[in-house]
Amino acid sequence: MGVDLDLALVRAFAVTAETLHFGRAAEHLNTSQQALSKRIARLETVLAVRLFEREGGTRLTEAGERFLPAAREALAAGERAVTAVTGTGPAVRIDTWGHLYAPMRTVAQAVQALGTVRLEPGPGRDWPSVAAALLRGDTDLGFGRVHPLPGGRDAGLTQRLVRLEPVDAVVSTSHPLARAHELRPADLRDSTLWCPAELTRLDFLRRFATQFQITRRQDGPNLGLDHLVQHIRADTSCFTLFPADAPLSDHSGLRSIPLVEPTPLYAWSLAWRESHRHPFLDTLLRCFTETGRTRRWLDYTPERDWLPDTDHAKLTVS
């Protein structure tokens, strides 16, 4: 005879396993610590195993480690069952940044298989602000380019690389290099890199400029894509970098030229708080993995492509 699992008990276990702290888990579940302990005890009785060690701090037993992935799947299945009869899906809050590069076009391609799961996109100012929102629990996921933050401000967060996108050089049709079919990054050394925000906030552009000795740099406030296009069109000495597949609002007066030898790649990642994994996180990750495999989003050849040093470690994790 099988064991009938109460999903309320399973959820209590999963949240406690994520936080490894009964007080924080109880707060997250809007219950008392005593009530949470009773739920865990009931689940351990049903399963006839101990799921947590409580001496010297809370940690999972071997049985708890084995049970956790299945528990998450059970909760996700429960959400899908409710969706099937109510017609409304659960919400996943996702904050994106790097808005000039249109991050939602990548998210939209990956989540087509999610069915009735609702995404609630939020506009993040930049990676530091989204990291802070994740740590506060104000959002479930972040999507954009992740890089190390000073002072350990990203401690407690984890990320998964999901796309490496080639970037082009965008110049005015009056730029001296505008007729080239392709360019090497070194060819741009006599041009001025236009940065659509303070360069200190644009980790990718800053590292590109340093790597390829682009000494002429100009930055300004981020006033949107139209402002960026107008500036490049009007200043024949400037160029900027733009993802090869991202749409430019107005191509007139502009050339988008592929970069080669090497081709710079912009790394898109999903980020989340390790202690608060959304029930549909694993499903989302599978969607990104399957879409990325089909569209070859993670193609990388060291002899052909360039990534900032801070992005190399992501390749081994993904």
Computed over every residue of the chain, the mean pLDDT equals 88
Q: What is the mean pLDDT of residues 246-264?
A: 87
How many residues in the chain? 318
Sequence-distant contacts of 288-292: CB under 8 A, at least 24 apart: 288/110, 288/160, 288/162, 288/163, 289/162, 290/113, 291/109, 291/110, 291/112, 292/110, 292/162, 292/163
pLDDT value of position 1: 47
Q: What is the mean pLDDT of residues 228-234?
A: 91
Q: Rounded distance, CA 54 to CA 22, Å?
A: 10
Among 84-98, 172-186, 221-235, 243-257, which is the least confidently predicted range? 84-98
pLDDT value of position 222: 81
Strands 263-273 and 141-144: antiparallel
SS (H, E, C) 3-59: CCCCHHHHHHHHHHHHHCCHHHHHHHCCCCHHHHHHHHHHHHHHHCCCCEECCCCCE
Categorize the per-residue pLDDT at 300 as very low, low, confident or very high, splitting at 50, 70 and 90: very high
Model's pTM, two decimal places?
Answer: 0.72
Query: Does pLDDT of 108 surpass 70?
Result: yes
* 202 SS3 class: coil
Contact between 148 and 269 (Cβ < 8 Å): no
